[in-house]
Chain A
Amino acid sequence: MTSCHSIRPLLPARAEELTVFESRSRADHVAACARCATEAAAYSRLGHALAVMANLEVDPADGTLERVLVAIGRRRTGVTDPRLLAAAGSAGALVATVVVARAVRHRRQAGPPARPAPRPRRLRIPHLPVPTPALARAK
C-alpha cells in the first residue's frame, strides 16, 4: 500500500485534477486507511460547501445599483450587435456621400464665384522729367 505521506498531497485535489494513476492510488489508499479516509471526506465536504457559495449573494451598499444604472445610461450606445452597428455605419457613410455630392453639385450650378469688389482707384501721377544738376549742366 502507498504511504500516507505520499498520498497526503493528493487528498485536497478534485478527481478531475488528478491523473488516472494518482486517482487510483488515492482511492486504493483511502479504502484501506481510516485516517486518510476521514481527511478525504473532510475535503469533499469542504468542496461541496465552496460550490454552494457560488449561489450565496451579498447585498451591495445602498446606491450601488443606481450608480451602475446611471453609468451605463451615460455610456450606452443603444445598439450593441456588431451586425447592426456595421449596417448603421454603412448607412451613415452613404448619407455622408450623398450630402457631399449634393453640396458639390450645388456649387457647380451656382456658377463661378463672384469677383471680389474692386479696390478704390489710386490717383496716377504722370511720369514727369525731374531736372537734375547733371542735365542742367549739359544744356
Chain B
Amino acid sequence: MEVDRELVEAAQAGDRWALEELVRRTHRSVYTCALRLVGNPDDAADVTQDVYLRVVRKLGGFRHEAAFSTWLNRVTTNVAMSTLKRRTRRFAVEGAAVPADTRDPAPEPAERAEAVALARRLEGLVAGLPEGQRQVLVLRDIYGQSTEEVANAMGLTPGAVKVRLFRARERLKAELESAEGGQVVALAGRRRATGRRS
C-alpha cells in the first residue's frame, strides 16, 4: 500500500478528491487486514466502512510521525476488535473464511517468488487457526505490531499474547509441514501412476 504524504496532506486539508483517492488506494489492504482479523467477508466489509468513517474523523490528528499505512493498520485493528466485541457469538468461529484469491501488488523479484507462493499457501492455514490465536498471529507476525500493541488492542496481558503466539506459530508450522508433506506424497503418487501408464 503506497500512499504519498502529499495525498494525505491534501485529504487532511479537506480536498475531497484526495480523500477518495486515499480510499481507492488503501481499501483492499484495509479489507484484507479486516478479513484476516474478523474472519468473515460481510463483517470485513462493515469494518472497512467503519475504518474510513473513523479515518475521516481522525485524519486531522495524524501527524506523520509513523507511516500512514501503519496508522491505518492500527485504526483497522481497533475497529475490527470493537466489532468482534460487539458481535454476538451467533456462530462459533473456529477457522475463518479463506480469502478467495490474494494478489501481490508489488512486482515479484525471483527471490521473492518462493516466499510469495508460500504466503499464499499460508493464507488458508492462518484462516484455519482458532480465532484468538489467529488474531494475535495476524497482528504480530503479519502486520508487525509489538506484543504490547497487540495486548492493548485485544485487551490481553503481554504474557497471554506470547502464549497464544507460541501456540499459533507451533500449530501453523506443523500444519504447513503436514500440507507440504501431503503435497510431496501426492506428487510422488501421481508420478508413480504416470510412470505405470507409460
Contacts and interface: CB of A to CB of B under 8 A. Distances in A.
Interface stretch (B80-88, B103-111, B185-193): B103-111
B122 A60 contact: no
Interface stretch (A70-78, A97-105, A106-114): A70-78
Interface residues of B, number: 60
A76 B100 CA distance: 32
B32 A51 contact: no
Contact of B31 (A48, A60, A78): A60
B116 A52 contact: yes
Secondary structure type dominating chain B contacts: helix
A71 B45 contact: no
Contact of B177 (A17, A42, A78): A42
Nearest to A70: B49
Interface string B97-130: 0011111111000001001101110110010000
B28 A50 contact: no
Contacts of A59: 28, 101, 103
Contacts of B49: 64, 67-68, 71
Given A56-B116, A58-B99, A58-B102, A49 B122 contact: yes
B23 A68 contact: yes
A123 interface: no
B153 interface: no
B170 A57 contact: no
B35 to A, nearest CB: 6
Nearest to A71: B49
Contacts of B147: 17
B60 interface: yes
A72 B53 contact: yes
B32 A56 contact: yes
B31 A53 contact: no
Contacts of B57: 75, 80
Nearest to A65: B27
Nearest to A81: B60
Contacts of A129: none
B59 A60 contact: no
Contact of B142 (A42, A53, A81): A53
12 contacts: A9-B166, A13-B166, A45-B118, A46-B169, A53-B142, A55-B105, A56-B104, A57-B31, A65-B27, A82-B61, A84-B14, A85-B60
Given A56-B102, A57-B28, 6 more contacts: A12-B166, A42-B177, A49-B118, A55-B106, A60-B31, A72-B23
